[in-house]
């Protein structure tokens, strides 16, 4: 990661944190999850270029929460099955309230 320039993500992805102080290496899992949740195609490409597919895949597989849309996107990008994602398994085991 040292020889690759820092990616230029849209600031809107990190609207709730101090964007200028965000440590892309120390908080890599947070950055990867957030880019996949809120970024566009270019953001995702830069994320994969910067971190590499192995690190991106590991972060997404171990995420505690991803939206349903992001789980499906992550599965398509990584080539992994849905049931390999921690957040997908947690979602399946959570009972939903009975609809009255």
**Mean pLDDT calculated for residue range 8-29:** 94
Does 47 score more than 80 pLDDT? yes
Q: For residues 10 and 19, what is the distance between their CA atoms, to the nearest angstrom?
A: 10
pLDDT in tens, 76-86: 999 999 999 99
| pTM metric for this prediction | 0.85
Indicate the pLDDT class of residue 19, thresholds 50, 70 and 90: very high
Half-sphere exposure of 84 (CA within 13 A, CB side): 13
Does 4 score more than 70 pLDDT? no
Does 20 score more than 80 pLDDT? yes
What's residue 1's pLDDT? 47
Q: For residues 38 and 76, what is the distance between their CA atoms, to the nearest angstrom?
A: 17
């Amino acid at each position: 990661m040292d020889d690759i320039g820092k990616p230029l993500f849209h600031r809107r992805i990190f609207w709730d944190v101090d964007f200028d102080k965000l440590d892309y290496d120390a908080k890599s899992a947070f950055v990867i999850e957030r880019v996949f949740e809120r970024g566009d195609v270019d953001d995702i490409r830069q994320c994969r270029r910067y971190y590499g597919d192995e690190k991106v895949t590991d972060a997404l597989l171990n995420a505690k929460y991803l939206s349903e849309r992001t789980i499906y996107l992550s599965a398509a990008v990584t080539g992994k099955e849905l049931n390999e994602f921690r957040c997908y398994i947690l979602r399946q085991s959570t009972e939903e309230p009975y609809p009255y």
